[in-house]
Amino acid sequence: MAIDGRLTGKVTIVTGAAQGIGKAIALRFADEGAEMVVVADKVEKYANEVADLIVAKGRQALAVTEDLETYSGATNLMQTVVEEVGRIDVSVHNVGGTIWAKPFWEYEKNEIEKEISRSLWPTLWCCRAVIPHMIENGSGSIVNIGSQATRGKYRVPYSAAKGGVSAMTASMALELAEHNIRVNCVSPGGVDVGERLIPRNPLDVRPQDNKWMRQVFNECIEDYPMRRLGLPEEEAAAVAFFASEDASFVTGQTLFVAGGAIG
């Protein structure tokens, strides 16, 4: 049952929706009355499981499996939705997530490239792919997922990627305002997503890597005025606001949902 129907009649896409924040957003959209929730993810099994949860709520769902680190994956996703449903009203770009935590000079070249590939390209490609469809439709809301980690230790490549997400949000908002398309960004702090279905780093992790990651975790608790991690549902609530007409006069903004911390 919808919370208050803020997304009634809307065709929505959530990328990286098989787990964590993305899953919470997809389920929140269903609760908000979305006509269709497209669950986009790289892993078909988990995407289908979330789609089934949405259908159980009495909403329509479509699971689409694509590699959104690629231009072709992003364009295929948007084209599939338009062909299947006819339009796109809301597109949330959530794919990303830090892989390593360590001083910048400890990163290998390939690790830097992987961090950028995971946390910058999926958002940039999806924005590029969805915008023409929204322009043709005459309206739309794009919500990009950034990060409070743009100001923090041991994640310089990830910070650079998420800083790029915030910057592209502001610039795209200026270009798209005349087309009645809003572009905003929700930047989470540390979020308790439980055990991940797919580890971000499947390789063996050294004891020192674990030590640096614990330092990042501890700083999240110590530096946040609210002294705790966030919940995926708290991030989803902010995304639902930006996606809805409650934010009809809001564009180009980055909202830190991080217990009082900012980037």
Tell me, rounded to whole angstroms, the distance of Cα 250 from its chain centroid.
18
Active-site residue flag, 46: no
Q: Other C-beta atoms within 10 Å of 16: how many?
A: 25
Cβ 187 vs Cβ 147: under 8 Å: yes
The answer for residues whose C-beta is within 8 angstroms of residue 21's C-beta and 6 or more apart is: 94, 145, 188, 191, 193, 232, 235, 236
Q: Other C-beta atoms within 10 Å of 10: how many?
A: 22
How does DSSP classify residue 8?
A: B
153-179 in b/e burial notation, b at 16+ Cβ within 10 A?
A: ebbbbbbbbbbbbbebbeebbeebeee
Q: Which of 46, 154, 158, 224 is catalytic?
A: 158
Cβ 96 vs Cβ 145: under 8 Å: yes
Give the three-class secondary structure for 102.
coil
Which segments within 98-229 are labelled E, that is strand?
A: 140-145, 181-188
The encoded tokens of residue 12 equal 């929505």
45-59 in b/e burial notation, b at 16+ Cβ within 10 A?
A: ebbbbbbebbeebeb
Catalytically annotated residues: 158
